[in-house]
Amino acid sequence: QADMALFQAKGAGRNTLSFFDPEMQVRLQARARLEADLRLALPREELLLHYQPQVACHGEVVGVEALVRWEHPERGRVSPGEFIPLAEENRLIVAIGAWVLESACRQLARWVADPARRHLTLAVNVSPRQFREADFVERVVAILEATRAPAERLKLEVTESLFLEERDEARAKMLRLREHGVRFSLDDFGTGYSSLAYLKRLPLDQLKIDQSFVRDLLDDETSAAIVASIIALAESLELEVVAEGVETEAQRDWLLAHGCTRYQGYLFGRPGPLAELPLPATG
């Protein structure tokens, strides 16, 4: 947006848009190249999933979040913070999201046969663009059927931005998926705009406290107050609450003392390949 403003301001004098601002040109080219590469990432099998544990009070792993990674042939690892927004803009997120979901569900199905893993929930991030596709529900159901993954173990992570527009449509889709057993978690909670009244009407199972509040918890009273309120809200709505971005014992102790019983963060394990999950070896 800032880019566009600059763009138009420069051109405005001559009543034309300049494509020759050199800095802009470089940035647009870099972006176009990244976008072209991203288009090839799926067919070239450059995407992979990492998994991060979610733990309960005594550190026992109760779930896992799947996080997509892009291994670019020249640039190395590109962060999802960089390519997911790009994929959302150009709709590639639909294909990428389907790949993520299918890969995750294949894993989930494998865990059923493994006593050390079959209790785990698997959380998958779903972007608003992907969720708003007309056939999203059918796609998820088809993937569950094809992979034979247990729907009750699948947790879709959605963000508050999903409910800014067409919220009744979003709710209806959630209800349909809920009928199949799929669970929902509200990711990055507290950073977006949520109508609390509407929250009550959504078939949610979990609130995820955004990591920015957890990070500042011990140094900033406002963050501490927000976290305490989210925990209280979750309790009164009968939702599970997970704190994300837990990095220190002190943060975990504070959270535990305030009634939060699920944690995710570097303290318990960084996202990594499946084999690195802190779980007993597969039997």
- Interface positions with Mg ion (CB under 5 A): 125, 157, 187-188
Please report how close the Cβ of residue 13 comes to ligand C2E at its closest, in angstroms: 40
Please report how close the Cβ of residue 218 comes to ligand C2E at its closest, in angstroms: 14
Please report how close the Cβ of residue 66 comes to Mg ion at its closest, in angstroms: 9
DSSP 110-143: HHTT-TTTTT-EEEEE--HHHHTSTTHHHHHHHH
Q: Is 265 in the site for ligand C2E (CB under 6 A)?
A: yes
Of the candidates 217, 219, 220, which has an alpha carbon nearest to the alpha carbon of residue 257?
217
The rounded distance, in Å, linking the Cα atoms of 272 and 49 is 8
Q: For 13, which DSSP code?
A: T
The rounded distance, in Å, linking the Cα atoms of 7 and 15 is 12
Q: Is 102 in the site for ligand C2E (CB under 6 A)?
A: no
Tokens 């140094």 label which residue? 219
Please report how close the Cβ of residue 268 comes to ligand C2E at its closest, in angstroms: 8
Q: Is 84 in the site for ligand C2E (CB under 6 A)?
A: yes
Tokens of residue 209, six digits: 């406290």
Among Mg ion, ligand C2E, none, the one that 265 touches (CB under a kind-dependent 5 to 8 A) is ligand C2E
Decide whether 107 or 264 has the Cβ nearer to ligand C2E.
264
Please report how close the Cβ of residue 272 comes to ligand C2E at its closest, in angstroms: 10
Of the candidates 229, 236, 239, 237, which has an alpha carbon nearest to the alpha carbon of residue 261?
239
Q: Which stretches of the chain are DSSP H helices?
A: 2-12, 22-41, 80-89, 92-111, 128-131, 136-147, 167-179, 196-201, 211-216, 221-236, 249-257
Tokens of residue 66, six digits: 């799947």
Contact window for ligand C2E (CB under 6 A) among 122-130, 141-149, 175-183, 219-227:
122-130
β 61-72/47-55 pair status: antiparallel
Binding residue for ligand C2E (CB under 6 A) from 90, 256, 266, 273?
A: 266
Q: Is 187 in the site for ligand C2E (CB under 6 A)?
A: yes
Please report how close the Cβ of residue 191 comes to Mg ion at its closest, in angstroms: 8
- Judged by CB under 6 A, the number of residues near ligand C2E is 24
Bridge partners, 11 (sequence order): none
- State the residues that interact with ligand C2E by CB under 6 A: 52, 67-68, 79-81, 84, 97, 100, 125-127, 157, 187-188, 211, 244-247, 264-266, 271
